[in-house]
């Protein structure tokens, strides 16, 4: 866990090693260029605890339950894992494929089905030209610690981005960002990136932005750029 500190807050985040960086770069390339493959793997395999299970650094896949289409999606992901050296060992046993993973970081990528959206959002921010951190523990002067999916630090302006690949987005999630913004003595902006439809939540009430990721990366990046740039302009006056 690396850290960065100034007079007002402390940032703690995981620094990736070269193997982890290479895997994440390649899996994001697949997500961007083959969205249907990723969507099929994500929604029908990774989020299905009957199909797949993760114990520590072991990824256990029920191969017998995979249809031809699902097997095709899984095999594309698995080939990428082998290519990027994040598979330490693999054993086939009684219809299961047990994959031993390189690190906790790689294991958490598959364990938490929303991490891909965080990494993708962080990549888009970096491509736009904004320095950012993913998976940040943000400790304020009052010693409260908040988990932030993606943080953009422009010095005098902070952007807190929450990524939700779930229908379970509640007003408490909005209040969390609103509360954090009130505890720091600088300009800040909150933004939610979601893959599912969010209903009955008033983002404007808390001054928060909302972008829905529709599995088109280029469109998403442009929407993100417009919202961030627009907010910077508005905060300048």
pLDDT in the model for residue 1? 55
Average pLDDT, the chain: 89
pLDDT in the model for residue 200? 81
pLDDT in the model for residue 21? 96
pLDDT digits (tens, 9 = 90+) for 106-145: 999 999 888 999 999 999 999 999 989 998 888 877 778 8
pLDDT in the model for residue 201? 85
pLDDT in the model for residue 137? 84
Residues 155, 133: one domain? Answer: yes
pLDDT digits (tens, 9 = 90+) for 13-47: 778 999 999 999 999 999 999 999 999 999 999 99
Q: In this model, does residue 3 exceed pLDDT 90?
A: no
Residues 11, 46: one domain? Answer: no
Q: In this model, does residue 12 exceed pLDDT 80?
A: no
Cβ neighbours for 47, distance < 8 A, ≥ 6 positions apart:
113
Give the end of a domain, one of 46, 76, 102. 102
Percent share of the chain, pLDDT over 70: 93
pTM reported for the whole predicted model: 0.91
Q: Is residue 200 part of a domain?
A: yes
Residues 92, 123: one domain? Answer: no
Q: Structural domain of residue 56, as residue ranges? A: 18-102
pLDDT digits (tens, 9 = 90+) for 95-108: 999 999 999 999 99
Q: In this model, does residue 71 exceed pLDDT 50?
A: yes
Using the Cα atoms of residue 94, residue 100, residue 104 and residue 106 in order, give the sign of their dihedral: negative
Residues 8, 60: one domain? Answer: no
Residues 7, 30: one domain? Answer: no
pLDDT digits (tens, 9 = 90+) for 176-207: 898 888 888 788 899 999 998 887 888 888 88
Residues 123, 93: one domain? Answer: no
Question: How far is residue 233 from each of residues 89, 165, 228, measured CA to CA in Å?
Answer: 51, 29, 9
pLDDT in the model for residue 167? 78
Give the end of a domain, one of 102, 128, 154. 102
Check which CATH number belongs to the domain holding 126 and give it.
3.40.1350.10
């Amino acid at each position: 866990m690396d850290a960065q500190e100034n007079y007002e807050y402390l940032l703690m985040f995981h620094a990736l090693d070269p193997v982890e960086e290479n895997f994440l770069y390649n899996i994001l390339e697949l997500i961007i260029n083959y969205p249907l493959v990723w969507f099929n793997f994500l929604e029908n395999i990774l989020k299905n605890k009957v199909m797949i299970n993760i114990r520590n650094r072991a990824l256990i896949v029920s191969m017998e339950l995979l249809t031809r289409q699902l097997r095709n999606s899984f095999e594309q992901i698995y080939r990428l894992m082998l290519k990027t050296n994040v598979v330490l060992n693999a054993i086939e046993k009684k219809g299961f494929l047990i994959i031993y993973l390189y690190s906790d970081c790689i294991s958490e990528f598959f364990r938490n089905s929303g991490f891909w959206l965080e990494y993708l959002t962080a990549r888009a921010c970096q491509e736009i030209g904004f320095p950012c951190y993913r998976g940040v523990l943000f400790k304020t002067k009052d010693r409260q610690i908040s988990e932030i999916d993606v943080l953009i630090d422009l010095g005098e302006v902070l952007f807190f981005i929450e990524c939700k690949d779930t229908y379970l987005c509640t007003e408490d999630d909005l209040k969390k960002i609103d509360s954090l913004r009130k505890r720091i003595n600088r300009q800040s902006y909150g933004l939610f990136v979601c893959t599912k439809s969010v209903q009955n939540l008033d983002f404007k009430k808390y001054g928060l932005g909302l972008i829905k990721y529709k599995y088109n990366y280029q469109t998403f990046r442009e929407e993100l750029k417009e919202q961030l740039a627009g907010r910077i302009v508005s905060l300048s006056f």
